[in-house]
Structure 1
Amino acid sequence: MRLKGYLHLFDAHTSFKWQFPNFYRKPGLGYQKLAQHRHIDWFDREWTGDCDDRYISSFDGKVSKLVVQAVDDIYDNTTNSTWRRTFVRNMAPFYLRLANWPFNHVDYVRNGGPTGEDWPLIIVKWFFATIAISFVIGTPRPKQVEFRNNGNYDPFLYRYIGYPKVCRNALEIDTPRGHRFGETNPIAERLLRPRYLYFLGQEGQPAMRMNVDQYIAQYRAENTLKYVFVAYTAEQFRMPDDLQALHQIADAAARNAGATAYWVGCSCMPDKETLQDDVYRICDVIRGADSVAIAVARPRNDRGEITTTELMLQQWGRRIWTFPEVLLAPAGRDIRVYTRGTDLTSPLRVPKNQFTVEVWRQDASVARQLVDHYEGNLILSQLELVTLALECLQKRETTQYLPGDHSYALMGLLRIRPKIDPTDSAFQAFARLSLANDSDQLLERLICVLPRTPDQPWHSMDDAYHAKLWDILPQECSISGVGTDDTIILDGCRAANVRWKSFTQVTHIRRLTWRRLAAEYMLRSSGYVFYLSIILMVIFPVIGIPFFIYALIWLGLSPYLLRMLYLGKFLGQQGWLFGFEGYMDIDTIERQIFGGRLGRMRWTPFSSPLSRHHRNEYGECVPDDPCSDPAVRALVEKCKNAQPGDQRIFTLVDTGNMTATLFMAARPPVCFLLAGSEGGMQRAIGCSYDWTTATLYRETVLRMETPVQDKMARCNRVKIGFKRTQAPWGPIGQVGEPHGARRD
């Protein structure tokens, strides 16, 4: 691949500015100016302006306009971004580029080295390279750029200064005085027995609803209290005559079970003051029941499709609230199913462990694990229980009462349950539940999951790397709170900034061998000796000619000596995370950073879903160019025309490990956070930055080698969201360029 580099200066669409990178292309799209936003940076400086794409500079901590270097195809031919673009520059020292120039036309990938057809051009280019080097070789090893951050990656200068909606410590809420322990995420009390039950009368007489405490006090029947929990769905029992039939079924179920009472949801929660709490504590009623009976009927809107008890039961099983009713039913007891309009003395008996194959066919294998757990046959860990239960509940239907209904249904299966908050979103309800039962760091693991598809909901645990949630181990980070906008406050991460605007020289350490010492001496002396010999030949030709021949030989070998001096592997190098939009082959990437193909860099074999590798003849894992796969190549071409919010192709170059990784994201991640480990590698969350709310959003998750964490500094608490909402946008000519002002 050959890049135009600074030839882009002659493009009509290239603009100029005083700050580096001085040449760039304006975005073709922009965000609509709906409001002015305010941002406070690391050093308490204030920025106010219109919504646009920005990042936090690791140099001065300011929130600056995002400029992304892009390959030529994207820089020249597309105006589909909301961020500025610049062309890829070769940042290697000029003398190294001269030394490698004679060989830069050789196709190493195809031929493995120079061929007979390459040598004539190599010789011609060698001659001109030698002449050019003689003018720039004043010192063959100019002062090297000093190590930055002691060789570590650039830190991410971010700090969270807001208030969470829910926090772990009471001191961190906005009004801490007068709050007692536990009020940051208050826990709901458990019901030891139902408030009301229908107690059976004589045969043929209707049951009577009574307050349970009054009944026990009146009849002193606490030791003999035995009731049946009657499960049903409002789809099948809705109208007054339906409810009358439901009570007839409940009466028969209680008598068949030898119980003294029954509980049915439509009539046993009459107190409006406690109705909301009682609805979400039905799980306690189930746990205290002697047995569970299910009442089914044909729904009123049925068009003749649901005619058998089996079909009615399957419709019942598709509802979200019926799922925990079966799981929490007494272990080892068959569940009796009563069908409206049939003989109520001989119900259908369904063993609890057979519900998965007869009723829950859509997720039978997962649901069976939960049934076995509550039957005591196969005990799941807390993390496995929550993961599997949430997967099943999300597949079931419900008529929403509160946004967090799925989490509240899950809450009934857990020991600790926070109080219901009607203002919670679905995510906030789940996050509060996780905080209350967070011995297994569920949210810390969930944020490390890479969704398989861009539209995957936050609660899905389908990982693009095919790992289970319990395979991910949080690394020294924890959730300190839940944000007001479906975010979490994560503490303890290691983080590194990504440099998108350009490559830069990479400081490194090389072993100084005798060959390199000799090459350095010859190069240092040859330039001075050459010019001195010219003067001596004019004054003392006998002395000058030998010096001239000596200098000429070593100047002629200068490209070779320079390559000898700077070739080879590094013992240590400056850690940088470079990024660019698009794809370049590994040789081109190395040329832009180090001046030529030196064999130092490689693709990562399994750091991204786009990474590729193969087994060689020795059984070793060899990374491949991702675009050697035709599917990846087609994806690279397709993503060139992506619109805001669509997935694009980016490449991350890690000089700490001398690797490159091709990945997909909707926006360029401005930083990577190490939040967990899996399979012997670190889960690095690539985040974009919404400066208008000071929120990081997960754009991708890459797998990095474990030593990178030794080169990353810890950052302050970060406010991070699972999915970023795409802001309204339009052509830049219509919405206008964003404006803002900084106040130091």
Structure 2
Amino acid sequence: MTGHGQSSSYVASSPGSHYRGDQPVQMNPQGQPYVQRKGPLRLKGYLHIFDPYSVFKLQSPRFYRKPGYGYEKLATHRHLDCFEREWVGDYDDRYISAYDGKISKLVVQSVDDIYDGAPNSTWRRTFIRNIAPFYLRLANWPLNHVDYDRNGGPTSEDWPMICVKWFFASIAITFVVCCSLVGTPTKAEGQVRHEGRYDPVPYKYYGYPKVARNALEMDTPRGYGSEPNPVAERVLRPRYLCFLRDEGSPAMIMNVEEWITQYKAEKNLSYVFVAYTAEQFRTTEDLRALHQMADAAARNAGVPAYWIGCSCMPEPDNLQEDVYRICDVIRGAHSVAIAVARPPNDTQGINTTDLMLQQWGKRIWTFPEVLLAPAGKDIKVYTRGMDLFNPTEVAKNQFAIKVWKGDAHVARQLVDHYEGNLILNQLELVTLALECLHNRDTTQYLLGDHSYALMGLLRIRPRIDPTDSAFQAFARLSLANDSEQLLERLICVMPKSPHQPWHSMDDAYNAKLWDILPQECTIAGVGNDDTIILDGCRAANIRWKSFAPVAYKKIPSWKRLAAQRLIHLGGFTMLIAMVLLSIPKEQGGAVTVPAGAFLLVYSIILMGLSPWLLRVMYLGKFWGTQGWFFGFEGYMDIDTIERQIFGGRLGRLKWTPYGSPLSRHHKNAHGDCIADDPCSDPKTKAFVEQVKNARPGEQRVFTLVDTGTMTVTLFVAERPPVCFLLAGSEGGMQRGIGCSYDWTTQTMYRETVLRFETPIVDQIFRVPRVKVGFKRPLYPIRGLAEIGEAKGHLSH
């Protein structure tokens, strides 16, 4: 694989790259690097406590900055945690603590530019702290000014400073060792938690779904039966038909059952389905002409009747059911005829049959009328004002290129499916049909009209529920049919655009919906607020407030053991040397002084080597690490991140090559895939700078450090996700849904989707049923100075 990895709509990929060794260097047209570095990043750390806007509190983290915005106090909300403790308070940003299960205020560590910048968030911010042991920072201090990314190592300009810093570091390390109880520094390993697994998400959903898979889980029986998602019966024949009479006489509209009883002619009951659009036939005169065209269509087909929507649904009580059962009427028809006319008050020049037909084809309800027309028969098009006995004939497989030009390639696949030429599986059928239907216009009757139009193409159709939103109608339809876990796959899609609607299946990783495989996850129900109840996924918390020491496992090494013993002896050797040198000659000093001098020289050598010995002790490959998801707002280079966690540049952390739409990678001379710093792409770098001034509801840049795989991922989201739900896999990677938490409704809202290496699945705990939403609504906000901070309390 050459060049960079996937690009997103947020940040386009760079125009080109040059190489220096194995590392890509972005070059401008003048041959100069786009990203000019000025050496390793320096963080202020605890110097931020002297900032006038830093606030102190007793709990960790002890210093933070208040947000610039707050949510309006429109109501008091209630939350019940997994231990049934009740929290009551104002709406604000919170997360579920992995420590005690309570919902705590969200505090996000941020890079200096963001922490010191405009207070443009609704969550608290804190500065990034270096949590590495002090002696490790001392050991790496002599080299921390060297820019390895730029120069590959120390240069002649760096060595004088390295020597000076090395001298002082050696003295300081020796002092630390001598002052410790056992003469050796404290272990750098962190505490093993949850047997090395990632922090769990102590979440429990207590609510009821609007529709459940199992009727026992409903709050009250539905008005139309005890089924959780009742299915509508199929119509075997129309309720009414327009029966032909003598030529020149208008057709007789009659109940089909009564006609069969009266004429005893059930076997000969055939009819033509007449399709039209109200955009072209509106007035009484238009409808009279429409019936004339329908009459001619039935006579030309040699059948005794025709069905037309304006006259064959006369019963107001059954109108709603009849509208959404038209698909059955089409399936039972002898043939389908289309009536077109020039629309009233035409201002677009729609004056030919082709243009009239294209206008007809833009309507949502006309699309299934063509797909469900009897296979193998051409569709006759009747044009008002033209010879009705010589209609235009259009083959079904030509409708895509002739009528549906906007999405011809997708629509043609659906036509071929219903013609039996190219059979789609259920997932492909629903995916392609939904895309086509949402490309068409409709005069909305119910919010779920697009899903109800789709419903006519599927075998099982839930009953119409006027209270459904568009998403709820689609979700109920998906639950009723064997849609191959469509919703489970759809929630794993990473939107290409931040404003992408829920029904769009455009994926930022350019994967198709059928490429995503749900991982032991199922939809248990549909929520009341355009959410789904997801069961069986794995979930891990993200730690935003600070880094933490990382426990790790390494194989024993003689080199590290020797370094440990030498640095252990260094302090004691110097003490013994000082004692021997202080003995007067008359008390045996003549013998002890040479020995003391030798030990002093030996201890000085060990002192000079102490920074190197310490690095030897803690270098080496990890064979296992404690799983943590650390997050911070903004971007830092990989060396700076490693210094904050491990004390120095040790080469342990790597960027993910394809974990995010912002990830970048290249192929080296050996054909290996090498991950690049995302900000080596100048457009990504410019985007990172731009979003520092983002307002609530706008995209921001965050960084995730995964210590389980020792990788770092730069990603985009509106809010910092508080956890990741592993719900599917794709392309040999796990898809993790980064979710923010709306504690007022117990809903996890999708903020981003990242790709993780598959082994982390075994290190993440399962979570009970989770209520998941596709897009978190923006709660009304105002300046924090106007409304004050949110307040709340545990009621019991």
Identical residues among aligned pairs (%): 71
In the alignment, which of 205, 221, 224 is matched to residue 160 of structure 1? 205
- 1:180-201 deviation digits (Å, cap 9, x = unpaired): 66x1000000001111111111
- 1:364-383 deviation digits (Å, cap 9, x = unpaired): 00000000000000000100
- 1:674-714 deviation digits (Å, cap 9, x = unpaired): 01000110111000011111111000000111111111000
Counterpart position of 2:190: 145
**C-alpha distance in 2 between matches for 1:178 and 1:666:** 40
In the alignment, which of 91, 97, 121 is matched to residue 51 of structure 1? 91
**C-alpha distance in 1 between matches for 2:533 and 2:287:** 47
Of the structure 1 ranges 437-446 and 285-294, higher mean CA displacement relative to structure 2 is found in 437-446
Q: 1:528 to 1:283 in 2, by over 3 A?
A: same
Counterpart position of 2:216: 171
**C-alpha distance in 1 between matches for 2:57 and 2:224:** 54
| Alpha-carbon contact 2:536-2:766 (below 8 Å) kept | yes
Counterpart position of 2:484: 440
Of the structure 1 ranges 432-441 and 665-674, higher mean CA displacement relative to structure 2 is found in 432-441
**C-alpha distance in 2 between matches for 1:296 and 1:117:** 82
SS in 1 for 2:116: helix
**C-alpha distance in 2 between matches for 1:668 and 1:452:** 18
Q: 1:92 to 1:285 in 2, by over 3 A?
A: same
**C-alpha distance in 2 between matches for 1:591 and 1:304:** 66
Structure 2 unaligned spans of 5+:
1-40, 584-588
1:531 CA drift (Å): 2.2
1:250 equivalenced with 2:302 (yes/no) = no
Counterpart position of 1:201: 245
1:239 CA drift (Å): 1.3
C-alpha RMSD of matched pairs (Å): 1.3
Matched residue type, 2:751: E
In the alignment, which of 730, 736, 740 is matched to residue 788 of structure 2? 736
| Alpha-carbon contact 2:191-2:549 (below 8 Å) kept | no
Q: 1:24 to 1:401 in 2, by over 3 A?
A: same
1:222-301 equivalences in 2 (<5 Å): 222-301=266-345
**C-alpha distance in 1 between matches for 2:303 and 2:397:** 24
Matched residue type, 1:159: K
1:116 CA drift (Å): 1.9
| Alpha-carbon contact 1:586-1:601 (below 8 Å) kept | yes
Counterpart position of 2:403: 359
1:78 equivalenced with 2:132 (yes/no) = no
Matched residue type, 1:575: G
SS in 2 for 1:283: helix
- 1:651-671 deviation digits (Å, cap 9, x = unpaired): 000011111000000000000
1:683-694 equivalences in 2 (<5 Å): 683-694=735-746
SS in 2 for 1:668: coil
1:304 CA drift (Å): 5.8
In the alignment, which of 601, 622, 639 is matched to residue 653 of structure 2? 601
Counterpart position of 2:101: 61
What is the TM-score when the length of structure 1 is the normalising length?
Answer: 0.98
**C-alpha distance in 1 between matches for 2:375 and 2:74:** 58
Counterpart position of 1:136: 176
In the alignment, which of 545, 551, 555 is matched to residue 511 of structure 1? 555
| Alpha-carbon contact 2:741-2:749 (below 8 Å) kept | yes
Counterpart position of 2:698: 646
Counterpart position of 2:6: none
**C-alpha distance in 1 between matches for 2:221 and 2:313:** 35
- 1:465-497 deviation digits (Å, cap 9, x = unpaired): 111101100000010000000000000111100
Matched residue type, 1:23: F
| Alpha-carbon contact 2:135-2:185 (below 8 Å) kept | no
**C-alpha distance in 2 between matches for 1:288 and 1:616:** 63
1:3 equivalenced with 2:43 (yes/no) = yes
Counterpart position of 1:726: 778
What is the TM-score when the length of structure 2 is the normalising length?
Answer: 0.92
In the alignment, which of 600, 608, 623 is matched to residue 675 of structure 2? 623
Counterpart position of 2:140: 100
1:287-436 equivalences in 2 (<5 Å): 287-303=331-347, 305-436=349-480
Counterpart position of 1:581: 633
| Alpha-carbon contact 1:170-1:179 (below 8 Å) kept | no
**C-alpha distance in 1 between matches for 2:483 and 2:432:** 17
Q: 1:177 to 1:695 in 2, by over 3 A?
A: closer
Q: 1:525 to 1:192 in 2, by over 3 A?
A: same
Q: 1:195 to 1:177 in 2, by over 3 A?
A: closer
Q: 1:28 to 1:177 in 2, by over 3 A?
A: closer
In the alignment, which of 65, 81, 84 is matched to residue 41 of structure 1? 81
1:476-487 equivalences in 2 (<5 Å): 476-487=520-531
SS in 1 for 2:750: strand
1:557 equivalenced with 2:557 (yes/no) = no
**C-alpha distance in 2 between matches for 1:157 and 1:664:** 25
1:142 CA drift (Å): 2.1
Structure 1 unaligned spans of 5+:
none
**C-alpha distance in 1 between matches for 2:739 and 2:393:** 53
Matched residue type, 2:753: V
- 1:370-414 deviation digits (Å, cap 9, x = unpaired): 000000000001000000000000010000000000000000000
Of the structure 1 ranges 546-555 and 518-527, higher mean CA displacement relative to structure 2 is found in 546-555
1:114 equivalenced with 2:154 (yes/no) = yes
| Alpha-carbon contact 1:492-1:714 (below 8 Å) kept | yes
**C-alpha distance in 1 between matches for 2:579 and 2:231:** 92
In the alignment, which of 184, 190, 198 is matched to residue 234 of structure 2? 190
1:294 CA drift (Å): 0.4
1:28 equivalenced with 2:77 (yes/no) = no
SS in 2 for 1:12: coil
SS in 1 for 2:295: helix
**C-alpha distance in 2 between matches for 1:347 and 1:222:** 29
**C-alpha distance in 2 between matches for 1:438 and 1:495:** 27
Counterpart position of 1:716: 768
| Alpha-carbon contact 2:430-2:483 (below 8 Å) kept | no
SS in 1 for 2:600: helix
- 1:513-545 deviation digits (Å, cap 9, x = unpaired): 111111111112222232233233323543433
**C-alpha distance in 1 between matches for 2:157 and 2:563:** 29
Q: 1:493 to 1:351 in 2, by over 3 A?
A: same
SS in 2 for 1:77: coil
1:354 CA drift (Å): 0.6
1:423 CA drift (Å): 0.2
Matched residue type, 2:210: K
1:176 CA drift (Å): 5.7
What is the aligned length? 743
Matched residue type, 2:333: A
1:592 equivalenced with 2:637 (yes/no) = no
1:146 CA drift (Å): 2.6
SS in 2 for 1:277: helix
SS in 2 for 1:102: helix
In the alignment, which of 476, 481, 490 is matched to residue 534 of structure 2? 490
**C-alpha distance in 2 between matches for 1:146 and 1:124:** 35
Counterpart position of 1:532: 576
**C-alpha distance in 1 between matches for 2:91 and 2:128:** 26
Counterpart position of 2:684: 632
Counterpart position of 1:219: 263
**C-alpha distance in 2 between matches for 1:410 and 1:624:** 44
| Alpha-carbon contact 1:441-1:474 (below 8 Å) kept | yes
| Alpha-carbon contact 1:167-1:173 (below 8 Å) kept | yes
